Amino acid sequence: MSYDKVLQAKSFIVGTKQTVKALKQGMVSEVVIARDADSRVSAKVVSTANELNVPITYVDSMKKLGNACGIEVGAAAVAISI
C-alpha cells in the first residue's frame, strides 16, 4: 500500500502548500494524495506534479495518510523527497 511508501521514506514533506513549493524546487520523487481530500485543496498539487512529470499515487484516507506521517491530523498531500 502507498502508506508504506511514506512510512519507508527517509524524508517527506506534508501539506499542499509545502508540497507545491518542493515540487517547484525539484525536490520531489513522488506525490501521495488522499482521495477524500477536497479537490480544491489538492488541485494545485496535482497540476504542478503533472506539469513536472512527477508520479502521483492516490490513497483512500487523509487520516491514514496523516498517521503514516506521524501527525495527529489528516494530510491531503505528501511529497516524498529525492
pLDDT for 19-67, tens place per residue? 999 999 999 999 999 999 999 999 999 999 999 999 999 999 999 999 9
CATH of the domain at 24: 3.30.1330.30
Q: What's the domain range around 51?
A: 2-81
Number of domains in the chain: 1
Secondary element (H or E) of residue 55? none
Predicted local confidence at residue 77, as pLDDT: 95
The kind and range of the H/E element at 72 are none
Q: Is the pTM of this model over 0.75?
A: yes
